[in-house]
A and B are shown apart, each in its own frame.
Chain A
Amino acid sequence: MPVQNFEELFQQKIDNEIKIEPKDWMPDAYRKTNIRQISQHAHSEIVGMLPEGNWISRAPSLKRKAILIAKVQDEAGHGLYLYSAAETLGMSRDEMINDLHSGKAKYSSIFNYPSLTWADMGAIGWLVDGAAILNQVMLCRTSYGPYARAMVRICKEESFHQRQGFETLLVLSRGTEEQKAMCQDAINRWWWPSLMMFGPRDSESTNSDQSMKWKIKRKTNDELRQNFIDMIAEQIKVLGMTLPDPALKWNEERKHYDFGEIDWNEFWNVVKGNGPCNKQRINARRKAHEDGQWVREAAMAYAEKKQSKTKAA
């Protein structure tokens, strides 16, 4: 069959909501886009462990410590599923990790912001996991089968994380004056970066059209961002806190919240590597990898010895 027909068949499957599986024919660009997106997502889970892992040793109660450790560990698990999903497209985990460390592969910019107080653990869970969920719920229906299935598992845990984050803030919002201030401060610092998680405006986004046609994405950046704002603008009322956007206002006509302009200059700066923690995050990942080199070598050498012993026996 000429490539033309393969492509038509492929698009037909997508249009008919039939999942694409690893062994199916797919256009090169579809494969590449998925590898890029899934590995980037995996890297985000792994780098995302750092700002929160940062507070495990200082968690203010044993219960909070247990919840936080379990959460960060969940993120490691998400990274694992996602690396496996990306591997089905023909790229090894090692290659993906090398691309992360060389700067060739990206991860979500949100993790380039510092986690400064305990309230940040609440704000990250509520806002960052909250923003991630909207994207991930959509991805449960993405056209590439292994990615969609990984997302279904991940989404359950993410919504749990969001509730825990909210609950952490709720306790602070009902606490002492210092705790309330800590809560508001964390919301102020994480609000705008979490809006940036949805990516550039649709008019600026390069890959959007093709990704929609292939049903890799099913909602645009701006749609998802609006959904998020509408959700959070309601939830913040329960906390009795405010969002740091004077332009935020319910628009009766649109049936959506209006909001102020995002600082796109900051967004692109962080993407380009100039965020407050870009350097620390990548250095931490590289160091873990380099320090682990001898461990991986030893494990491999031992496995080989074992294998040749069984063969000899």
Chain B
Amino acid sequence: MKSNLIDYTLHLADTALILSQRNSEWCGHGPILEQDIAITNISLDLLGQARNFYQYAATLTGGEATEDSLAYLRTEREFKNLLLVEQENGDWGQTILRQYLFSQFQYLMFEKLQQCSDEQLAAIASKSIKETAYHLRWSSEWVCRLGDGTKESHERMLLAIEELWRYTGEMFESAVYETIINVASLKEDWMQRVSAVFSEATLPVPENVFMQTGGKKGIHTELLGFMLTELQYVQRTYPGAEW
């Protein structure tokens, strides 16, 4: 029971951290200065969410666990983030689409989570959902802009969909530890909202796509190992040091 709660909290933390880490790669390299600031802001919000979840997981775990030991000293087989968020940034379109597909899910998930029986998770969710609402608005506006912008941007969005859609199914498949909310029940609503945004963006909603899963169980794409190598490098090089 308690181990389910820990694993679930870690899943939430890992997902937020890994997406934050990906988005932060844009910092200093964005297509427009204002948007460089915006994506960095989202990265910072997600990092804040991740820290809240890790701190809670550390309390539940007890002993020597801290937010940093959980983020820096677990391996790629222990990380439980969604596959979607570890996918590479690609071009701006791919980053935008990844953010939108995730934020649309995260928003619905936090709506449920803020009413869940676990007080701490509910509190983090109701604090975070305000940020997520902004991420959702920002990313959906960009999906429209790029989908319905130029011929080139439209084509790039089609490629992004082809690249990322197959990682969306996992969001709605409950992991063994995912007992607090029923993610499968969010699927219909998510699909409706995504369809509405895609239709405004003049983008097709793919059908019958085979879905890749495994992230929640610690079976990742090959990308995660490289990310963790970089993320954890200093902590692992100087074990036990304070920073």
Contacts and interface: CB of A to CB of B under 8 A. Distances in A.
A282 interface: no
Interface stretch (A16-24, A221-229, A253-261, A292-300): A292-300
A57 B231 contact: yes
A50 interface: yes
Interface in B13-66: 17, 21, 24-25, 27-37, 40-41, 43-44, 47-48, 50-51, 54
Contacts of A83: 33
Interface in B65-124: 67-68, 71-72, 91-93
Interface stretch (B145-153, B167-175, B215-223): B145-153
Contacts of B43: 69
Interface in A50-90: 50, 53, 56-66, 69-70, 72-73, 76-77, 79-80, 83
Contact of A295 (B17, B54, B153): B153
Interface stretch (B2-10, B182-190, B191-199, B233-241): B233-241
A178 B238 contact: yes
A61 B68 contact: yes
A171 interface: yes
Contact of B44 (A60, A69, A171, A284): A69
Contacts of B152: 294, 297-298
A213 to B, nearest CB: 34
Nearest to A295: B31
B230 interface: yes
B40 A69 contact: yes
A76 B54 CA distance: 29
A69 B47 contact: yes
A51 to B, nearest CB: 9
Contacts of A175: 241-242
Contacts of B146: 295, 298, 302
A301 B149 contact: yes
Given A58-B233, A62-B47, A299 B29 contact: no
B40 A294 contact: no
A261 to B, nearest CB: 34
Contacts of B17: 62
Interface residues of B, number: 49
B156 A56 contact: no
A8 interface: no
A179 interface: yes
Interface in A24-58: 46, 49-50, 53, 56-58
A63 B150 CA distance: 41
Given A57-B230, A66-B44, A118-B234, A179 B241 contact: yes
Report whether over half of chain A's contact residues are helix, strand or loop; otherwise say mixed: helix
B25 A176 contact: no
Contact of A288 (B30, B51, B150, B156): B30
Interface in A142-199: 171, 175-176, 178-179
Nearest to A292: B31
Given A58-B231, A62-B71, A297-B149, A76 B91 contact: no
A88 B36 CA distance: 23
B148 A50 contact: no
A178 B241 contact: yes
A263 interface: no
Given A301-B149, A302-B149, A66 B48 contact: yes
Contacts of B92: 291-292, 295
B27 A62 contact: no
B51 A62 contact: yes
6 contacts: A57-B24, A76-B27, A288-B31, A292-B92, A298-B150, A302-B144
Interface of B: 17, 21, 24-25, 27-37, 40-41, 43-44, 47-48, 50-51, 54, 67-68, 71-72, 91-93, 144-146, 148-150, 152-153, 156, 230-231, 233-235, 238, 241-243
